[in-house]
Structure 1
Amino acid sequence: MTSPTPGTPRPLSLLDFVDVPSGMTAQQAIARSERTVQAADRLGYARYWISEHHSFAGLASSSPEILIAHLASLTSGIRVGAAGIMLPNHSPLKVAEWFKTLEMLHPGRIDLGLGRAPGTDQLTAFALRRSREALTADDFPQQAAELIAFLSDGWPDDHPFKAVRATPVVDTSPELLMLGSSGWGSSFAAVNGMTTVFAHHMSPGLAVEALRAYRRDFRPGPLGDTPRVIISVLALATEDPDVAADFRAGWALQMQRIRSGATTRPSTDEIRAFRLSPEFAAVEPSLEGRVYAGPPAEVAAGLIALADEAGADEVTLVAPTPDLDAKLRSLELLATEFGLTPRG
């Protein structure tokens, strides 16, 4: 149960919210994701994940299972999946059917990251779950156990669902991972032998302690016999200081909008106006250690140092920005810094 060798580059992956910046359509946002996943595949990135969010006009990721099928069809080597599927919103049987179908279409390339948050507000969660009992239930462990049994056909003989089969029948299974932005998700992963994915981009102050506890408490099981840690981090490599400053300001503005209840993503012009405001000046210091943006070597060094501290085996980049050219350039720069092997 050892951590990766300090100072060494890790595999890189990418998390996509499928942002729809102001002035853009959802179709244009999907086209941006198509270009991004193809670039990531070509450059040698390990995974490309889609998030699940609902009732949010600035995101086009309400149905990650559909987007996964589409994006995987445009690529050849990169793993494509969800980070994650918010399991309380769905029937475990239906999730198993979605991901068995995806695995049938793209064997050996599908990831299923699980989350227990709703990915939305309470009213929308109620609309998704259709009952007050489902909205207030705290039965994630039971749901996860059912999902694992449906994926593996591993029911106890006396279980009432033993006669129910999640189809299609496939020879391979999606990789199952547990997401979290607190200690709960990594603790659940540890006791169930799962890979843990920690959202440093959401809770940077909790990441290191939670991930160290995961390695300490890990128990081998049917889902894995060794601990594996993935950490998701806000990062953009660029030679242009203005692009780096826009990225930092853009994340701060997005968080300000979410706190105010707004569901739109800012445009480049809105980000640049905010960047010059007293509000951004007040919050900019809080981005230190949370947002990695700047020269490629500096960003890479910061990500490796964080991965060392957290004992992370893999780093997932989070780069929400309306500047697609900057995002694609960052993928190239960091692929070089981390020594990724191109495909094709």
Structure 2
Amino acid sequence: MTASPRLSVLDLIPVRSGQTSADAVAASVALAQAADRLDYARYWFAEHHNMPAVASTTPPVLIAAVAARTERIRVGSGGVMLPNHAPLVVAEQFAALEAIAPGRIDLGIGRAPGSDPVITQLLRISGPTADVDRFPDHVADIQSLLSPEGANLRLTSGREYAIAATPAATGTPTVWLLGSSDYSAQLAAQLGLPYVFANHFSGEGLERALELYRTGYEPSERHPVPETFLTVNAVVAPTSEEAAERALPQLHSMARLRLNRPMRPLETIDEALAAPADSLADDLIERMRTRWIIGDAEQGAAQVRRLAERHGVEEVMVSPIAGSYANEPADATPGRVQTLELLAGALN
């Protein structure tokens, strides 16, 4: 029998109706502790802005909170959206995180802004930060700034100016490039960096991106061979019927996003079940279901194994998107916890 892949978690900190941001964050901290207890490999926070159903706006803050409340799991960003931030600030934040939890920090970097054009401009209100056209340079800058040796800036006077993200680094976070297109796959290969395709968001172009990354990979000192894994949305429950119900709120939300409709907090499962039929949304939902893991423990584990085997990866990062019933506590997400528990139990 093929060995089971390692499991990891991607968290967007979903916010449902009747839930506060504080409730949502508390639920995610508890979920991270469950992942730590269940021997998941890593726990990453996404970066999104001004979305009523998503509270993961500041990965470094969330990483620090979870690193302080867990014991062994790697914690990181999935990812920091570099166009929104100055490279030096990113390097300083993650150097501090590495000092808080040595050997446990991942810095996943993305090229997209993570929001709409208005929010993108607000994030850059003090001037340009990481210009998208200079993305490769800024990734290299962050790597240099994070290293114990730091970097040297040549001033217009000709004098060199030493810069370091932290005064006395003894280790550095692992840098990953994230993307959903050929560009990031090719850049990660060129730079000799680990790479993750955002399969949980779309899935289109996955095979080509992985092929470009693996065939074009140029070994680096820290990463002599290509390293990659897959992300996937997952809902696992004691029965396939419950899993289908718990998947509905997120399916409805993603359909609204794809149809460019106003976004709102996630529905409860009760609200999603009572929603009127919508032919446009329903067609999208049926197509999305085929790319998500939705089922009982045995079905979920089988889908994870098939996904890993098909794409030649040894790790699968699940985004546990199970919704909640109206009578479940606001500061907890039992459906997401049971997704992690049931998957871990079935794969071990």
Q: Paired residue for 1:269? A: 270
- What corresponds to 2:173 in structure 1? 174
Q: TM-score by structure 2 length? A: 0.89
Partner AA of 1:92 in structure 2: P
Matched-pair contact (CA < 8 Å) for 1:18–1:33: yes
Amino acid aligned to 1:267: T
Give the equivalent residue in structure 2 for 1:325: 334
SS in 2 for 1:54: coil
1:56 aligned partner, one-letter code:
M
> SS of the counterpart of 2:255?
helix
Matched AA of 1:98: Q
- Give the distance between the partners of 1:152 and 1:275, measured in 2 at CA: 55
1:287 Cα deviation from its structure 2 partner: 2.3
Task: Measure, in 2, the Cα distance between the counterparts of 1:158 and 1:91.
Answer: 15
The change in CA–CA distance for 1:234 and 1:27 in structure 2 (over 3 A counts) is same
How many Å apart are 1:164 and its aligned residue? Answer: 1.6
Greater displacement, 149-158 / 253-262: 149-158
SS at match of 1:204: coil
Find the counterpart in structure 2 of residue 203 from structure 1.
Answer: 202
Distance 1:42 1:28 in 2: 21
Q: Aligned in 2, Cα 1:280/1:18: closer, same or farther, shift over 3 Å?
A: same
Residue aligned with 1:301, SS: helix
Taking structure 1 as the reference length, what is the TM-score of the superposition?
A: 0.90
Task: Classify 1:276/1:151 alpha carbon distance in 2 versus 1 (closer, same or farther; 3 Å).
Answer: same
Report sequence identity in percent.
Answer: 36
Counterpart Cα distance in 2 of 1:276 and 1:173: 51
Q: Distance in 2 between matches of 1:310 and 1:61?
A: 28
In the TM superposition, what is the alpha-carbon distance from 1:266 to its structure 2 partner?
2.4
> Which 5+ residue runs of structure 2 have no aligned equivalent?
325-332
Instruction: Provide the secondary structure at the position in 2 that maps to 1:120.
Output: coil
Shift of 1:135: 8.4
3-state SS of the aligned residue for 2:162? coil
Alignment of 1:33-72 (within 5 A): 33-72=28-67
CA pair 123-44 structure 1, distance change in 2 beyond 3 A: same
Q: Deviations over 1:46-81 (max 9, x none)?
A: 001111111122221111111111111110010111
- Superposition RMSD in Å: 2.2
Query: CA separation in 2, counterparts of 1:157 and 1:77?
Result: 34
Which runs of 5 or more residues in structure 1 are unaligned? 1-5, 340-344
What is the Cα deviation at residue 251 of structure 1? 2.8
Q: Given the superposition, is the C-alpha separation of residues 303 and 157 from structure 1 closer, same or farther in structure 2, using an over 3 Å criterion?
A: same
Runs of 4+ more than 3 Å apart: 131-137, 153-162, 274-281
Correspondence for 1:244: 243
- The answer to whether the 8 Å contact 2:243/2:322 transfers is no
Give the stretch that moved more between structures: 261-270 or 222-231: 261-270
Q: 2:345 — aligned with what?
A: 336
Note the C-alpha offset of 1:155. Answer: 6.4
Which among 108, 115, 140 is matched to residue 113 of structure 1?
108
1:277 CA drift (Å): 5.2
User: Which segment drifts farther, 154-163 or 50-59?
Assistant: 154-163
